Amino acid sequence: MVLFCPCEEDAVTLVKLQLWPGSAKRPQVAFHSKLMMLAEMLLLECHVSLKKFCDTLGLEKSNMLPTWKNDRQDILSSVELAIPVFHSYGHKSLCQIGNSPRRKSAFGLTDSEGIERLWAYLRGFSAITKEMIPGRRVDVLTDGLLHYAQHRINQFGPSLLAKVKRAKELLETTKLQLDEIFSKLQVPLDASLIERWTDEEKSLLLSRNRLPGCLDFDDVKDPESSIYQDFKVVADEQVPFSIKRTVIDLHHLTERCKEELGLVNIEIASIAEFSTDNLQAESEMQDLLCDSDSEDDIDEDVFEIGISDDDAEDDDDMLLDC
């Protein structure tokens, strides 16, 4: 317990006691300087994050960590996460099939790499802005972002049409490929079969992740060795694993194409509504301007009618006399 003196700030008292206050005014928690030095050394030398450090100490919550606004941790339960397609090859196979945008519903044909395209555009400013002062650099990047945003807005129409065309062509192609594959197999195509093959794929990849520590080098090099047999044939249907995985990918791609068409229709409807509202607002503004101009014209007519030429001459004579 710390006894504070009213003659100085509470934070000053804590600092004198080698305690770093959690807040400059009315601090409710403080951290000893040695504890903070330990956290810093663990961060720099062992790469231990502040969260893991606090968890190790048994602290449920640290005031030094960012918190959810209004304690809305439930937001994550309604958010679906996936790995961008350009980054998926850096993950394990099990992670790829579990978190790929092509394997998750409601993602359509998006590759989730929109932000990477923005970075690619901004990369061109790196050589230009590196010698600028911070204020000027912010101005240039702001202008670039505004230009990029306007360019994307102008491309809404052609982009949506291209998405529709691509989704339809891809949907037709995948259906033809599935029909061609199943014409050579002895099993019919249905949803239950795809689901069963997907479960087999996951269990097989899980077993592959638990390979024994010692493997014979010749077996690893030989595609006909027992290591690779599970990936080739399943005894009950005699369907190679590679064919199963191709069918699973094509099935999910078909579903994503259907979703893409639905999502594009929603975007087109939203843009049409937005454009209609803008046109209506612009029309109302023009009507107001026209009404204002007509009132000004009426006032000028009244002013011209109310003053005759004789009155104007009399006014001029009065001004000369003055």
For residues 104 and 244, state if they share a domain: yes
CB neighbour burial string for 192-211, b if at least 16 within 10 angstroms, e if fewer: ebbeebbebbeebbeeeeee
- CA atoms of 166 and 261, how far apart (whole Å): 10
Number of domains in the chain: 2
CB neighbour burial string for 212-235, b if at least 16 within 10 angstroms, e if fewer: eeeeeeeeeeeeeeebeeebeebe
* Res 220: pLDDT: 52
- CA atoms of 20 and 62, how far apart (whole Å): 14
For residues 114 and 204, state if they share a domain: yes
For residues 52 and 143, state if they share a domain: no
Within a domain: residue 106?
A: yes
Q: Each residue of 80-120: pLDDT tens digit?
A: 888 888 888 888 778 888 888 988 888 999 988 888 999 99
HSE-CB of 20 using CA atoms within 13 angstroms: 9
For residues 107 and 253, state if they share a domain: yes
Tokens standing for residue 284:
């109302």
Digits of tens for pLDDT over the chain (322 positions)?
A: 666 666 778 888 888 888 888 888 778 888 888 888 888 888 888 888 877 887 777 655 555 555 666 666 677 777 888 888 888 888 877 888 888 898 888 899 998 888 899 999 999 998 889 888 988 999 999 999 999 999 998 898 899 999 999 999 999 999 999 999 988 888 888 888 888 888 888 887 777 655 545 555 555 556 666 655 555 544 445 788 888 889 999 999 999 999 999 999 999 898 888 888 888 888 888 888 887 666 555 555 444 444 444 544 554 454 344 4
For the chain, what is the radius of gyration of the CA atoms? 35
For residues 183 and 270, state if they share a domain: yes
For residues 111 and 223, state if they share a domain: yes
3-state class of 5 per DSSP? coil
* Res 241: pLDDT: 80
For residues 36 and 138, state if they share a domain: no
- CA atoms of 175 and 258, how far apart (whole Å): 12
Alpha-helical (H) ranges within 231-308 are 241-306
- Please list, in sequence order, all residues whose beta carbon lies within 8 angstroms of the beta carbon of residue 64, skipping any fewer than 6 positions away: 22, 31, 50
For residues 197 and 92, state if they share a domain: yes
Please give, one letter per residue, the 3-state secondary structure of 168-235. Answer: HHHHHHHHHHHHHHHCCCCCCCCHHHHHHHHHHHHHHHHHHCCCCCCCCHHHHHCCCCHHHHHHCCEC
Containing structural domain, residue 98 = 85-289
* Res 62: pLDDT: 52
For residues 123 and 262, state if they share a domain: yes
* Res 63: pLDDT: 57
Phi, psi of 19 (to 5 degrees): -115, 125
- CA atoms of 65 and 293, how far apart (whole Å): 59
For residues 36 and 184, state if they share a domain: no
